[in-house]
Amino acid sequence: MSLSALPVLSGRTFPYSLTPFDRLSKEPARKGECFVDEKPLTVLVVDDDESVRKAMKRLLVSNGYRVLTFESAEDLLVSSFARGNVCLVLDICLPGLSGLDLYARLSASGVKCPVIFMTAHDEPRWLEMAERAGAVAFLRKPFEEHSLLDAVVRSQVRMKSAGNATG
């Protein structure tokens, strides 16, 4: 799929737009749909802006997800949370290690989980890098609440599909 063919949704509620990398689910997220194979999904949010972390946590928790937030890529790396039933939501522009570099490092260490990248900076090369990394979505700040929720649901579908393919 060419980059120009990727749809971009924009909105007014949560300050971000969405570029999905797969079209597994076009349905909006619904409360209670936060389980993959009966295990609760944990969303790990990495953003250096405290207000963004708080808003995303509030939104995701109110929709039934467990959420852990981190101020930096390094904070996530020293934790042991990037394992199991998790979905990563990573800001690309972080002080120190970028979100793209964080995901590359996690992948190289054997961590396989869906990732949603977000940024306030419109750099075409980052969209290309996110697509090559296999991202579920690329969110442009500001984005709507449903854009994030839809991306998390797509992450769950991808996890379930990968689980069925391997087991």
- Write the CATH number for 43: 3.40.50.2300
Which amino acid, residue 54? K
Tell me the pLDDT of the chain (167 aa) as tens digits: 333 333 333 333 333 344 444 333 334 444 444 444 455 799 999 999 999 999 999 999 999 999 999 999 999 999 988 778 899 999 999 999 999 999 999 999 999 999 999 999 988 999 999 999 999 999 999 999 999 999 999 999 998 888 766 55
**Residue 6 included in any domain:** no
**Residue 45 confidence (pLDDT):** 98
In a domain, 27, yes or no: no
Is 5 inside any structural domain? no
C-alpha dihedral over 104, 106, 111, 116, to 10 degrees? -60
Instruction: Look at the chain and report how many structural domains it folds into.
Output: 1
Tokens of 18: 């969405």
For position 40, what pLDDT does the model report?
A: 78
Burial of 92 (0-12, 13-18, 19+ CB in 10 A): buried
Note whether residue 145 is domain-resident. Answer: yes
Query: What pLDDT does 81 receive?
Result: 85
Write the secondary structure of 31-56 as one string of H (helix), E (strand) and C (coil).
Answer: CCCCEECCEECEEEEECCCHHHHHHH
Q: Which domain holds residue 152?
A: 15-22+34-166
Q: Name residues whose C-beta falls within 8 Å of residue 27's C-beta, 6 or more positions apart in sequence.
A: 150, 153
pLDDT at position 164: 63
